[in-house]
Each structure stands twice: as C-alpha cells, then as structure tokens.
Amino acid sequence: MNTTQEALAETAPEIVSTRVFNVSRELLFRAYTDPEILQKWWGPKGFTNTFHEFNLQAEGEWNFTMHGPDGVDYKNKIVFIEIVPHEKIIFHHVSGPKYRGCITFTNTSETAHTHLTYSMTLQLPKVYSKLKDLIIVANEENFDRLEEVFRKIKKK
C-alpha cells in the first residue's frame, strides 16, 4: 500500500452495510459474481441494469448502466482489485461517486447463514456528507432485492 492509499484509509469516510442471509456463502458469493443473477437485483428499488462488460478478475472491469425509475441512466465503471472466492471482493468504483468497495462473506454458524459486509470508502468527505443517508437506504434496498432473488431461487 502506498502512502496515499494509507492516508486515504485513515482519513476517508466509510459506510458499512451488513446483513445476514439465510443462504450458503457459496450461493451469496455467486449472486455477486454471476452476471445473470447480479443483473436481477443490483441497485436500489426500481432500478434496472444493462451490463456492457463483466470481467471478474483482478484489474478486470465491470461496465454497466443503471436505469433509474425516473428514466435517468447512470453509467458505472468498476475495476476489480481482488477476488477471493467465497470470501471477499475488493474493487474501485471509478465513476462518480468514487469509492473503494469491499464485500466480505462470512459463515455465521454451522447452518446455511452467511454474514455479508459491504463497506464503501469514499474519496471525498464532502461526497460522504452529501450522499451518506442516500447510500445507506440504497444499500438496504439492494439487500432487499437480493433477498427477493433468493426467495425465487428457493421456490424453484
């Protein structure tokens, strides 16, 4: 880690969202890494996605457009930094707002429950201040949509 990254890690504001899912760690990880599943739930309530590129590997890119319920399109670009199967995904969201994302998958017990932690380290404190409340709500809506995908999978 270089000095700039260390300084960013020490001073940058972070948003952490967590949830326990009643699915295996493997299935939860797959929901984040299989573009066909991911496209069904990624984003807040009412959003849809068009994936242009999804290259899940270190330095691979995920380019997509989120279509808001208000008709506005939001272009997104993510560069993957590290992928450890069934454990974590680290990436940089290089389109605005810029942030470092870290998703971890941890078994909570011997049962099929998995604890998900999604942390977002934003580059600028003013962006954090402006978007914090919106991001927290959006992350919860995102998790709700993922829960709905799992309910549909279990019914099949």
pLDDT tens string 90-127: 999 999 889 999 999 998 666 679 999 999 998 878 87
Q: Is the residue at 4 inside a domain?
A: no
Domain count, the chain: 1
Q: Is the residue at 128 inside a domain?
A: yes
Rounded CA separation 87/89 (Å): 7
Rounded CA separation 96/127 (Å): 10
Q: Is the residue at 37 inside a domain?
A: yes
Instruction: Among 27-31, 72-76, 124-128, name the one with the lowest average pLDDT.
Output: 124-128
> Domain containing 116: what range?
12-155
Q: Is the residue at 120 inside a domain?
A: yes
Rounded CA separation 142/121 (Å): 18
Query: Is the separation of the CB atoms in 140 and 17 below 8 Å?
Result: yes
What is the full DSSP assignment across 79-116? Answer: EEEEEETTTEEEEEE-SSSPEEEEEEEEE-SSSS-EEE
What CATH number is attached to the domain comprising 124?
3.30.530.20
**The pTM is what?**
0.86
Q: Is the residue at 150 inside a domain?
A: yes
pLDDT tens string 35-71: 999 999 999 999 999 999 999 999 999 999 999 999 9
3-state helix, strand, coil in the chain (%, to 5): 35, 35, 25
